[in-house]
Structure formats: C-alpha cells, structure tokens
Amino acid sequence: MQSIRSTGLAELGNLRGLIIDMDGVLWQGDTPMPGLHQFFDALRRRQIKFMLATNNNTQTPEGFAQKAEKMGVEVLPEQVITAAIATVHYLRSKYPPGSRIYVVGEAALKGLISEAGFTLADTSVSAVVATMDRQLNYEMLKLATLLIRAGAEYIGPNPDTAYPTPEGLVPGGGAILAAITAASDRQPLIIGKPEGWMFRIAMERMQLGVDETGSLGDRLETDILGGQRLGLKTILVLSGVSTAASLASSSIQPTWIFPGIEQLAQAF
C-alpha cells in the first residue's frame, strides 16, 4: 500500500463518515478510477457512511446515482449533494416561492430551481445564478451582466475554474463566473465548496459530527480547504486536479494524502 503521507494513518479508523468528491476522485468523465469497487466495498465493510458532494451541476442527484450504477456502484440519490442542491437551500432561505431567477446553467440546475418553486426568467429578476453551461453564448453573458448591474444578487454555485476529464483539464463553472465578474464588476456569492453549505448538509444527512467526518477530494482549494474550515479531517488524492507539485507549494495541507482511492481502500 503506497501512501504519500502516512502519519497518523491509524486514525483513519476513527472516521464514521466521508464527504466524497466525484470528478477526479471516483471517475474522470465516464471512466472509473482504479480501485472504485474496492473503495466502496471497504466503506461498507467498515460501516463508514458516505455522501457524494460535488460542485458539478451538470446532472441531478438521480443522474449521478445512475452514473455510479453503470460503473457497478450502488449509490442512492439521497447520498448525492451537488452545489445546485445547496443553491436551492440558499434561495429558499432568502426568497419567497415564485421569485424570478435568471440561470446561466444546464437543464439539471434549471430543473431543480424550478421544482423548488422559483420562476425562471430573464427580466426583473431577484437573482442571477451562474455556473457551468456548455451551451454558453455571448447573449447569456450580456444578459447576466446587465441584470447584475441592475441590482440582481449574483450567485455562483461552482467556483471551480477547471475540472478533470479524460482529455485533461477543461473550463468549469468558475471560468464562466470569471467572465461575468469581469463584465459586471461584482463578485459572486459562492455556494459550492470551499464554502460550508454542502459539508453541513452532508453531515446532517449522515447524522454525524465534525469529529467523526472526513472530506475526501482532489482539490486543495475546495475539497480540502472547505473541510478544514469546518474542522474536518481531510484526505487528498492526487488523481485529479491537485498535484504533488502544487501540494508542495501550497499552504493548504491535508491530513492524509494518497495517489488515489485504490490506495486509500487498502489503508481502510
């Protein structure tokens, strides 16, 4: 079993729950990471609860559960939290049903916001929600900018500027936020990791506390930093975005580091 940081490895056994990122950790695109089945077998054998938590808003929890099923892993939709889910929680906490929301985002995000009782609109809106949209065009950027400059709240579910695919790192929701931020001269309210919304929802669903829960991911600035802000133990895998080189130069240092989930499964 190869680990890059093994100090305190025995403490892994104290974890009763894991908040797990997906892209770059469990799979890249439609390709499962080595050790995927062994990893989930180890969690179930050790009776470690888990929640999958991602800034990726291109699918619903049901869609991610189906993706896992195609790879031979059983995950319930209730065990998946996306930044879109956290965004809906935030919108419900601030705006009444029927409030008008402009969304730069894909069908999964728009569907969740609509199902939550909000009206998708492009005029006289209370808020602009902007994230990954693979059909993005100039008119969408222009409209978002005009609405924000007119006073609409600016909300960004996903700050990730890039995400890992089998082709390499490609633009993510944060890249779209960067364009709107530059044009509107406004900073978005970030809902996704490293902010605490998804971490707190995940712990609530698992009915676990901070001392019993770990955050597992491939990004220092989201999965690891977000977990550390809440006092969680953190596990970095070097199979996605963050590399050994970026780790060496970063002030963000996880509790444990592994090449991937295959080695983490062996440690469990």
Q: What is the pTM of this model?
A: 0.84
Residue tagged 């099923």 (tokens): 69
Structural domain boundaries in the chain: 9-55+194-267, 84-190
Strand, helix or coil at 124? coil
Pairing between β-strand 168-171 and β-strand 213-217 as defined by DSSP bridges: unpaired
Catalytic residue among 21, 133, 160, 218: 21
Distance CA 39, CA 43 (A): 6
Active site residue 211: no
φ/ψ of 11, rounded to 5, equals -70, -15
CATH number listed for the domain at residues 84-190: 3.40.50.1000
Interval 192-246: pLDDT, tens = 999 999 999 999 999 999 999 999 999 999 999 999 999 999 999 999 999 999 9
**Whether the domain at 9-55+194-267 and the domain at 84-190 fall into the same CATH topology:** yes
Residue tagged 């929802």 (tokens): 201
Distance CA 231, CA 224 (A): 10
Active site residue 133: no
**CA dihedral over 136, 137, 138, 143, signed as positive or negative:** negative
Q: Which fold has domain 9-55+194-267?
A: Rossmann fold (3.40.50)
The mean per-residue pLDDT over the stretch 109-137 comes to: 96
> Which residues are CB-neighbours of 74 under 8 A, at least 6 positions away?
40, 68
* Number of Cβ atoms within 10 Å of the Cβ of 10: 9
Distance CA 158, CA 84 (A): 9
**Beta partners for residue 128, in sequence order:** 102, 154
Residue tagged 């609109």 (tokens): 121
Distance CA 107, CA 120 (A): 12
The mean per-residue pLDDT over the stretch 91-104 comes to: 97
Interval 138-164: pLDDT, tens = 999 999 999 999 999 999 998 889 887
Residue 3 to residues 14, 51, 73, 255, 267, Cα–Cα distance (Å): 18, 23, 24, 12, 8
The pLDDT score that the predictor gives to residue 54 is: 93
